[in-house]
């Protein structure tokens, strides 16, 4: 039986006031904070995992989960659900906005950090090379940059007809439009759906925070983001409220109590959004039977000091 | 197209009204497995713009970006829904003018959801699922060509699609997972549509054209299993949405069919 330790999450380390410089790791870390899940953050910096592991990766018992969407689904299934308060329509909106981020914003972000020559040589490559053990520092940045470039070309350009220069203009204008749309949608509220952060907030934070905080020598997209004050304020608020000590998952006692209360409330409610969707898809007596006989809580997910077992 | 070229085309487009002989080119009917000619066709009909449909074997190579279908208007050739929408907007016809900023953001987000999920799933099922690829897709794709070109082109296309799937991380997904994703996408669309006639209440927009095009294509194309169309049919409001749009905008096809006009008659939901 595992002790009170939380699940290990492999991710890239932090810098520039952020808990992690890697977008996908940030998404998972932010969501874990919002949902009150305690994860042991294991930075892969300076280990051989920089080249062997798929990051981010959550190790649970004998298996592992990768990709932010899968990890979030996994956390939701284990009752760490930040989306509980959302209506079905808001859940649909979440899916749509995440698709918008992936299609419109991500190519430009990949380009800014990995393909743009000035940024890559003065910021990204030195950082990743410095945070990989010798001799991997020679290979890791190049590999990641190659993956980023091929992703942009395969999804945005009709390779091999177009080269990267022809699609650059298009992907940056798409990304600026996407930032504008996000800014319109956020408006003056604190988070995208009311006063509590949800998975959409985690995704937006994961994409925007590195762009907001990194000191990029050539950053037209960063300039554009800085003009959208509500999005900058959004990033700073989340950093302030949830990542008071950048890079560490432990928060102070008040925040732990607040999280504990919230978690107990969540646990006492009967269903969450994903189970509702699962029910719709597979509504069958067998599934209802499974819900009635909920397995005992896995000890490894207990937060510090929690005594009650869920219903 | 680069940004400068796009702006130039828009300027030229604004100069002339919509001509009567605008043509939409698509591959031969038996050729492409899942045809998406319905998307721009639905959009143009919603705008009330006349367009003829022509089937050509080499449509993919005629298109400026390699994507089919595309339209030929006056002396410009435009492919893909995004540029077509901009093109018609430059000519003064637009469906989404009445939306405010937040609604426009939602519309774009949902369009990306459809592109991201449905389009990728369609490509995956056609080309990455071995059964479908060998029995249906490769045969249909290579039918207009003679040996050995048919083999080469079919395998080349399959290789390209598989590379793309690798890049975006869909290569590791199994078929079941892809069907699940499509179901979730349809659930999301169904939730958004609710009981309204269109996605943004009374007026159709490009989102309606896009959703209709994809769903219609999936529902009317024969694949190895009916799993995909069953998943869509489980959302009844989406099914009635498709029927309603087909009735409203494609009804005149049935009348002109007997007159032997140039409108090519396609499959139907009825």
In tens, the pLDDT along B12-37 reads 767 777 887 888 888 776 555 555 66
**Are A96 and B117 a contacting pair at CB < 8 A?**
no
Q: CB of B65 within 8 A of CB of A167?
A: no
CATH assignment of the domain containing B44: 3.40.30.10
Over chain A, what is the mean pLDDT? 78
**Are B185 and A95 a contacting pair at CB < 8 A?**
yes
B21 and B113 inside one domain = no
Structural domain boundaries enclosing B13? 3-90
Which residue from B24, B59, B61 is spatially nearest to B44, judged by alpha carbons?
B24
Question: A2 pLDDT band (50/70/90 cuts)?
Answer: very low
pLDDT in tens, A29-67: 899 888 888 888 888 888 877 777 778 888 877 778 888
> Is residue A184 over pLDDT 80?
yes
CA distances in angstroms from B224 to A7, A154, B33, B130, B131, listed in the order given: 42, 28, 11, 11, 8
B85 and B105 inside one domain = no
* Mean pLDDT, residues B101-122: 87
| A181/B contact by beta carbon, under 8 A | yes
Q: Is residue B156 part of a domain?
A: yes
Structural domain boundaries of chain A? 8-249, 258-308
B105 and B125 inside one domain = yes
B126 and B61 inside one domain = no
Q: Is residue B96 part of a domain?
A: no
B40 and B160 inside one domain = no
* Mean pLDDT, residues B213-228: 81
Residue of A nearest to B167 (CA): A151
> Is residue A249 over pLDDT 70?
no
Residue that finishes a domain, picked among B29, B56, B90: B90
Q: Is residue B51 part of a domain?
A: yes
Residue that finishes a domain, picked among B55, B90, B125: B90
Three-class HEC string of B196-261: CCECEECECCHHHHHHHHHHHHHHHCCCCCCHHHHHHHCCHHHHHHHHHHHHHHCHHHHHHHCCCC
Q: What is the pLDDT of residue A245?
A: 57
**Are A185 and B184 a contacting pair at CB < 8 A?**
no
Q: What is the pLDDT of residue A1?
A: 29
> Is residue B255 over pLDDT 60?
no
Q: Residue B104 and residue B223: Cα distance in Å, rounded?
A: 35
Q: Which of A71, A93, A95, A152 to mutate to test the interface with B (most CBs of B within 10 A)?
A: A95
Q: Which of A65, A69, A100 to mutate to test the interface with B (most CBs of B within 10 A)?
A: A100
Q: What is the pTM of this model?
A: 0.78
| A96/B contact by beta carbon, under 8 A | yes
B81 and B117 inside one domain = no
> Is residue A299 over pLDDT 90?
no
Q: Residue A6 and residue A9: Cα distance in Å, rounded?
A: 9
DSSP structure string for A207-247: HHHHHHHS--SS-HHHHHHHH-HHHHHHHHHHHHHH-SSTT
Residue that finishes a domain, picked among B58, B90, B122: B90
What is the Cα A121 distance to its own chain's centre?
Answer: 25
CATH architecture of A8-249: Up-down Bundle (1.20)
| B162/A contact by beta carbon, under 8 A | no
How large is the C-alpha radius of gyration of chain B?
Answer: 19
B192 and B68 inside one domain = no
Q: Long-range pairs for B60-68 at CB < 8 Å and ≥24 separation?
A: B60/B27, B62/B25, B63/B25, B64/B1, B65/A158, B65/B1, B66/A158, B66/A161, B67/A158, B68/B25, B68/B26, B68/B27, B68/B32, B68/B36, B68/B37
In chain A, the percentage of residues whose pLDDT exceeds 70 is 76
B84 and B126 inside one domain = no
Q: Is residue B95 part of a domain?
A: no
Give me the number of domains chain B comprises. Answer: 2
CATH assignment of the domain containing B145: 1.20.1050.10
> Is residue A159 over pLDDT 60?
no
Minimum distance, in Å, between the CA of residue A152 and any CA atom of chain B = 9
Q: Is residue B270 part of a domain?
A: no
């Amino acid at each position: 039986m595992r002790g009170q330790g939380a699940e290990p999450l492999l991710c890239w380390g932090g810098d520039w006031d952020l808990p992690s410089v890697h977008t996908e790791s940030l998404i998972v870390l932010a969501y874990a904070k919002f949902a009150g899940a305690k994860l042991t953050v294991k930075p892969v910096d300076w280990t051989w995992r920089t080249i062997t592991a798929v990051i981010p990766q959550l190790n649970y018992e004998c298996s592992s989960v990768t990709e932010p969407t899968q990890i979030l689904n996994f956390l939701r299934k284990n009752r760490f659900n930040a989306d509980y308060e959302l209506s079905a329509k808001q859940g649909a909106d979440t899916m749509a906005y995440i698709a918008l981020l992936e299609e419109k914003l991500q190519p430009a972000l990949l380009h800014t950090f990995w393909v743009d020559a000035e940024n890559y040589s003065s910021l990204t490559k030195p950082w990743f090379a410095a945070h990989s053990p010798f001799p991997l520092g020679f290979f890791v940045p190049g590999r990641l940059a190659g993956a980023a470039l091929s992703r942009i070309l395969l999804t945005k350009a009709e390779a091999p007809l177009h080269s990267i220069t022809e699609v650059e203009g298009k992907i940056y204008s798409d990304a600026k439009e996407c930032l504008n749309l996000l800014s319109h949608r956020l408006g003056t509220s604190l988070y995208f759906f009311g006063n509590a952060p949800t998975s959409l907030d985690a995704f937006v934070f994961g994409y925007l925070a590195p762009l907001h905080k990194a000191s990029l020598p050539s950053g037209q997209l960063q300039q554009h983001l800085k003009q959208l004050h509500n999005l900058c304020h959004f990033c700073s608020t989340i950093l302030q409220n949830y990542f008071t000590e950048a890079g560490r998952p432990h928060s102070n006692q008040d925040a732990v109590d607040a999280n504990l209360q919230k978690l107990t409330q969540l646990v006492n409610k009967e269903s969450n959004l994903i189970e509702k969707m699962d029910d719709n898809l597979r509504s069958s007596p067998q599934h209802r039977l499974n819900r009635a006989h909920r397995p005992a809580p896995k000890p490894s997910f207990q937060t510090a000091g929690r005594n009650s077992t869920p219903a | 197209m680069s940004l400068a070229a796009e702006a130039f085309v828009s300027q030229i487009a604004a100069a002339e009204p919509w001509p009567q002989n605008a043509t939409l080119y698509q591959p031969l009917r038996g050729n492409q497995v899942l045809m998406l000619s319905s998307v721009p066709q639905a959009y143009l009909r919603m705008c009330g713009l006349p367009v003829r449909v022509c089937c050509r074997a080499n449509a993919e190579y005629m298109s400026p970006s390699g994507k089919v279908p595309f339209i030929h208007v006056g002396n410009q050739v435009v492919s893909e829904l995004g540029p077509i929408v901009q093109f018609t907007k430059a000519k003064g016809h637009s469906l989404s003018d009445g939306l405010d900023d937040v609604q426009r953001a939602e519309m774009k987000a949902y369009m990306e959801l459809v592109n991201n999920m449905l389009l990728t799933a369609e490509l995956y099922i056609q080309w990455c699922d071995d059964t479908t690829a060998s029995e249906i897709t490769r045969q249909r794709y290579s039918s207009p060509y003679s040996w050995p070109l048919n083999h080469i082109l079919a395998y080349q296309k399959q290789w390209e699609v598989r590379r793309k799937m690798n890049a975006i991380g869909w290569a590791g997904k199994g078929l079941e997972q892809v069907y699940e994703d499509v179901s979730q996408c349809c659930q999301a669309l169904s939730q958004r549509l609710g009981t309204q006639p269109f996605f943004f209440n009374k007026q159709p927009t490009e989102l309606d054209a896009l959703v209709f095009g994809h769903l219609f294509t999936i529902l009317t194309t024969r694949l190895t299993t009916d799993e995909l169309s069953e998943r869509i049919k489980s959302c009844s409001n989406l099914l009635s949405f498709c029927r309603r749009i087909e009735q409203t905008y494609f009804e005149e096809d049935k009348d002109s069919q007997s007159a032997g006009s140039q409108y090519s008659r396609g499959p139907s939901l009825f």
